[in-house]
């Protein structure tokens, strides 16, 4: 009988997609992410959004105030693309040491995307500069036309927008964020090395039945929405494939409990406090713990052209039950992803 490994040492991972929010929330979210990630790509969908280098620098400063004293956590900032972003601002971003990518939210696609891009044609001159200077374009890949079914929005975005963008700007580095479908896996696999994708723990661990059968689970509601089991399977296979085009991005997106458990609940899963343990759990279930380090700690840095971390973390086998609720900005608290479920790994501190 094969014996289960008790300890796993990997290079310190990075999170290539996280929402830390602002203000009081930072005192919860920053330590949760800095706990195990050396760096993180910080999403810019604040209200108002982070649209320029000056705002990104100021936001970075507010984040750094909450980094625990014993941590070297480095926030990698992004700009939120709007219809009025200019090529000059992109050049400024590329020259700054603070901004590492630009995020494209189609207007209305998700939380705080009201000021997103209404017509991609507006951005041709901006994409041309990004391609030139090597600044990655991070995409929330969902079409927003009201008549398009929510489960088809990613697939249609790829066909209608992503393929044309990639054709027009073949060297533009693109990360299709939080992919949810076999179609996205397919697209990324057959496209050149300038296109990659992040995968979240919720889309690896769950499918839409988990969210909808036997009662609706608002804490599994995120965007892009969980898809059918066959899509979950395709994402799992991509994550453990060892293909460097697929890497870790939690999309940890905190919302207070009372805004999720509501008649019109917010989209987003909060995974930061247990993120690496959740990924380890699913990689182990898939018999691929040996592939975790590439996915979590190497491929993202390589894609962004940054050095791989030198330090290491140790995960220890340990049976624990994930907290049902954690403290957050109001007395309703926050319910983490997979709350109340068994967890088989623990980060050694
Ligand atoms: C994110 C949020 O809450 O900011 N929500 C989500 O469901 N993922 C926005 C996003 O990444 O779509
Ligand atoms: Zn996100």
pLDDT tens string, the chain, 349 residues long: the values are: 467 899 999 999 999 999 999 999 999 999 999 999 999 999 999 999 999 999 999 999 999 999 999 999 999 999 999 999 999 999 999 999 999 999 999 988 887 888 888 888 889 999 999 999 999 999 999 999 999 999 999 999 999 999 999 999 999 999 999 999 999 999 999 999 999 999 999 999 999 999 999 999 999 999 999 999 999 999 999 999 999 999 999 999 999 999 999 999 999 999 999 999 999 999 999 999 999 999 999 999 999 999 999 999 999 999 999 999 999 999 999 999 999 999 999 999 8
Please report the atom of ligand 1 found closest to the CA of residue 268: 7
300 Cβ below 6 A of ligand 1: no
Report d(CA 141, CA 159) in Å as an integer: 10
* Nearest ligand by distance to the CA of 268: 1
What phi and psi values does residue 23 have, to the nearest 5 degrees?
60, -135
Assessment of whether the complete model's pTM goes beyond 0.85: yes
Q: Which single residue is written with the structure tokens 């014996």? A: 3
pLDDT of residue 117: 87
Q: Are 276 and 309 in contact (CB under 8 A)?
A: no
Kindly tell me the sign of the dihedral angle through the C-alpha atoms of 267, 175, 151, 325.
negative
pLDDT of residue 114: 82
pLDDT of residue 109: 80
Domains in the chain, ordered, with CATH? 13-310 (3.20.20.140)
Q: How far away, in angstroms, is 267 Cα from ligand 1 center?
A: 6
Helix (H), strand (E) at residue 97: none
Q: How far away, in angstroms, is 60 Cα from ligand 2 center?
A: 18
**Of 183, 187, 205, 204, the residue nearest 195 (C-alpha):** 187
Catalytic position from the list 186, 251, 290, 330: 251
Closest Cα to atom 11, ligand 1: which residue? 251
Q: Which of 45, 112, 206, 275 gets mutated to test ligand 1 (max ligand atoms within 8 A of its CB)?
A: 45
35 Cβ below 6 A of ligand 1: no
Report d(CA 187, CA 157) in Å as an integer: 11
Q: Detail the DSSP E strand segments found in the chain.
A: 7-11, 15-18, 39-42, 74-80, 99-104, 137-139, 174-176, 195-199, 246-248, 312-321, 342-347
* 75 three-class SS: strand
Cis peptide leading into 224, omega within 30 of 0?
A: yes
Kindly tell me the sign of the dihedral angle through the C-alpha atoms of 179, 275, 45, 264.
positive
200 Cβ below 6 A of ligand 1: no
Q: Are 4 and 319 in contact (CB under 8 A)?
A: no
Report d(CA 41, CA 38) in Å as an integer: 11
Which chain residues have CB less than 5 Å from ligand 2, an ion? 251
Q: Give me the DSSP letters along 250-314.
A: --B----HHHHSSTTPPP-BB-GGGHHHHHHHHHHHTT-GGGHHIIIIIHHHHHHT-PPP--EEE
DSSP 8-class letter at 74? E
Q: Are 174 and 139 in contact (CB under 8 A)?
A: yes
Report d(CA 84, CA 101) in Å as an integer: 17
pLDDT of residue 2: 61
Q: How far away, in angstroms, is 252 Cα from ligand 1 center?
A: 8
183 Cβ below 6 A of ligand 1: no
pLDDT of residue 97: 95
223 Cβ below 6 A of ligand 1: yes
251 Cβ below 6 A of ligand 1: yes
Q: How far away, in angstroms, is 318 Cα from ligand 1 center?
A: 30
**321, exposed or middle or buried, with CB in 10 Å at 0-12, 13-18, 19+?**
exposed
Q: Are 337 and 270 in contact (CB under 8 A)?
A: yes
78 Cβ below 6 A of ligand 1: no
Active site residue 251: yes
């Amino acid at each position: 009988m094969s014996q289960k490994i008790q300890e796993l040492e990997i290079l310190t991972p990075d999170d290539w997609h996280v929402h830390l929010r602002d203000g009081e929330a930072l005192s919860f979210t920053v330590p949760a992410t800095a706990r195990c990630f050396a760096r993180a790509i910080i999403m810019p969908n604040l209200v108002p959004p982070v649209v320029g280098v000056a705002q990104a620098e100021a936001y970075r400063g507010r984040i750094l105030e909450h980094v625990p004293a014993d941590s070297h956590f480095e926030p990698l900032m992004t700009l939120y693309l709007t219809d009025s972003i200019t090529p000059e601002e992109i050049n400024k971003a590329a020259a700054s040491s603070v901004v590492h990518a630009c995020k494209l939210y189609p207007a209305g696609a998700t939380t705080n995307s009201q000021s997103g891009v209404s017509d991609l044609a507006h951005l041709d001159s901006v994409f041309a500069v990004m391609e030139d200077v090597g600044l990655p374009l991070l995409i929330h890949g969902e079409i927003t036309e009201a008549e398009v079914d929510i489960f088809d929005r990613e697939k249609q975005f790829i066909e209608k927008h992503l393929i044309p963008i990639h054709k027009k700007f073949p060297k533009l580095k693109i990360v299709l964020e939080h992919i949810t479908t076999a179609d996205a896996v397919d697209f990324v696999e057959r496209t050149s090395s300038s296109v990659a994708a992040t995968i979240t723990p919720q889309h690896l661990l769950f499918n839409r039945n988990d969210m909808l059968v036997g009662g609706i689970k608002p804490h599994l509601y995120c965007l892009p929405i969980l898809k059918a089991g066959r899509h979950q399977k395709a994402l799992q296979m991509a994550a453990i494939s060892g293909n460097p085009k697929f890497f870790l991005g939690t999309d940890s997106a905190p919302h207070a409990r009372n805004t999720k458990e509501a008649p019109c609940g917010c989209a987003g899963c909060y995974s930061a406090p247990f993120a690496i343990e959740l990924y380890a759990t699913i990689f182990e279930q898939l018999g691929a713990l040996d592939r975790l380090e590439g996915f979590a700690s190497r491929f993202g840095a390589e894609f962004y052209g940054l050095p791989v971390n030198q330090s290491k973390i140790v995960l220890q086998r340990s049976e624990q039950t994930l907290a049902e609720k954690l403290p957050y900005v109001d007395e309703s608290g926050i319910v983490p992803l997979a709350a109340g479920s068994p967890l088989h790994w623990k980060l050694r501190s």
